[in-house]
Amino acid sequence: MKMLRRLTLALLALGAAAACQAGTGLAELPGLPGDGPVTVFYPSSSADEPVQRGPFQLQLAWQGTPVRGNGRLIVITHGSGGNPWVHTDLARAMVAAGFVVALPEHAGDSSRDPSTPGPESWKRRPAEVSRAIDTVAQDTRLAPLLALDKVGVFGGSAGGHTALSLAGGAWSPARFRQHCEAHIAEDFSSCVGFITRLHGNLLDGLKKWFALAVIRHRFGDETAYTHQDPRVQAAVASVPFAADFDMATLATPRIALGLVTAGMDVNQIPRFHSSAVLSACQDRCTHVAHLPGASHGAMLSPMPPLHLLNDVQTALLGDPPGFDRKVLPEVDARIVAFFAQHLQPLQAPPPLQAAH
C-alpha cells in the first residue's frame, strides 16, 4: 500500500504537469467484423480542442498525432447501457501517465443498443475486450507504440463483472437466478436493472413475482463461464456485479486484481457484490479505493446530465447528498498507480515542464 500511495502522489503531480501541454488524442477505430467501434484515447502532440459527443462537451485532440507514451494499453469496459464518454476523466488520467486507453462498445448493452443487458451480454463481453486489443494491434498508427504482452482492464458495474471474468472468475446464469431467488427484495435492482424499483407499496409483490418468473424462465444455464486472455495481466473492478460468481474462483485471482467500492451503492448492494469479492480474495487482491459516501455512479465522470436520466436511473446512479466529486482525481490516480505497478511500463513519458 505504501508503494501504491507513492505512485499515486507521483502520478497526480505528473497529471498536473501534463495538463499544461500534451494533448489527449481521440480516435474511433472500426471494430473487427461483427463488433462495434473501439474508441481510443492516447498521448498526442496535438492540442486539445472542444469536442462534442452527445451531451458531453469535452477537451480532446480529435485524430491528433499519436506520440510514444509508456508502451502499455488499458481497456475500459463500460457499464450496462454505457458509452466511452462517461469514462473520459479516468481515460485522460491514464493518458497523462503514458497509457493508451481503448473502450469497446459492448453489443446489446450500450447506450446505442441496450437490447440485451445482463447475463446475455456478460457471456460476450470478455471476448469483446480481447477483440478490442486485437483491433488496436492492427492499427498502423498506434500498434508500433505499444507492447501488448501486458494489458490492463478497468470496468465498472457490468464492466466490473467483465474485469472479474478476465481475472479468472467463473460465473453462471444459474447462480444469477439463485441469487435473485434468495435476495430479490434486498438486491432488486441487481436482478431487474433500470426498469423499475421497489417503493414499499402494494405493487412490490407483483414486481417481485413477475421479475422472478422472467428470471427463472431465462436463466437456468448452469455452465460456468470464464475467459482467459494471456495478454491481460491486471484488472480493476469498480462497484462490480459479482453475486453470480463462484467466489472460490476469485480467492486466488490469476492476475493482479484491484477493487473500487462505494459505501452507499444502492444498485449493487456491496455485501452481495464488491464486499463478497474482497472477502474471498482478501490479501490476494488490492482495495484500490473506497468511497464511503458514494453510490453506484460515482466513477462516471463526467456524469450524464441528470435531466437525461429517468427517475430509476437517477435514484440508482445519482450522487447521495454530501458526496463531493472533488475526490475523484485522487481515485483516478490510485487506479492509474495500480496499473503502473503491475504492467511494468516500458518507458516513462518524456520529461514535462513544471505546472503553470
Its CATH architecture, for the domain 2-171+227-343, is: 3-Layer(aba) Sandwich (3.40)
- pLDDT tier at 346 (50, 70, 90 boundaries)? confident
Local structure of 250: helix, strand or coil: helix
Q: What is the DSSP letter of 50?
A: E
Contacts of 349 (CB under 8 A, 6+ apart): 14, 18, 22, 43, 69, 70, 96, 97, 98
**Mean pLDDT calculated for residue range 114-125:** 96
Q: Do residues 73 and 85 lie in contact, with contact meaning Cβ atoms separated by under 8 Å? A: no
State the DSSP H helix or E strand holding residue 153, giving kind and residue range, or none if neither: strand 151-156
pLDDT of residue 295: 97
Q: Which residue has the cell 469497446?
A: 104
Q: How far apart are CA 315 and CA 122, in angstroms?
A: 24
- List pLDDT tens digits, range 56-104: 999 999 999 999 999 999 999 999 999 999 999 999 999 999 999 999 9
Q: Determine how β-strand 151-156 pairs with β-strand 256-262.
A: unpaired
Residue (of 332, 329, 328, 350) closest to 340 by Cα position: 332
Residue (of 157, 171, 134, 355) closest to 267 by Cα position: 157
Q: How far apart are CA 284 and CA 254, in angstroms?
A: 10
State the DSSP H helix or E strand holding residue 127, giving kind and residue range, or none if neither: helix 119-137
Q: What is the DSSP letter of 244?
A: T
Residue (of 346, 288, 354) closest to 69 by Cα position: 346
- pLDDT tier at 17 (50, 70, 90 boundaries)? very low
- Label residues 175-195 b or e (16+ Cβ within 10 Å = b): bbbbbbeebbeebbbbbbbbe
Does position 329 have pLDDT exceeding 50, yes or no? Answer: yes
Residue 322 has φ and ψ, to the nearest 5°, of 95, -10
Does position 321 have pLDDT exceeding 80, yes or no? Answer: yes
pLDDT of residue 7: 56
Q: Tell me the CB-side half-sphere exposure of residue 338, using CA atoms within 13 A.
A: 26
- Label residues 262-284 b or e (16+ Cβ within 10 Å = b): bbbbbbbbbebbbbbbbebbeee
Contacts of 261 (CB under 8 A, 6+ apart): 238, 239, 270, 274, 275, 278, 287, 289, 290, 291
Q: Do residues 160 and 239 lie in contact, with contact meaning Cβ atoms separated by under 8 Å? A: yes
Where in 21-139 does DSSP place strands (E)?
Answer: 23-29, 38-44, 49-53, 56-62, 73-77, 100-104
Could you tell me the residue ranges of all domains in the chain?
2-171+227-343, 174-223
Comparing 18 with 269, the larger pLDDT belongs to 269
pTM, whole model, 2 decimals?
A: 0.91
pLDDT of residue 11: 52
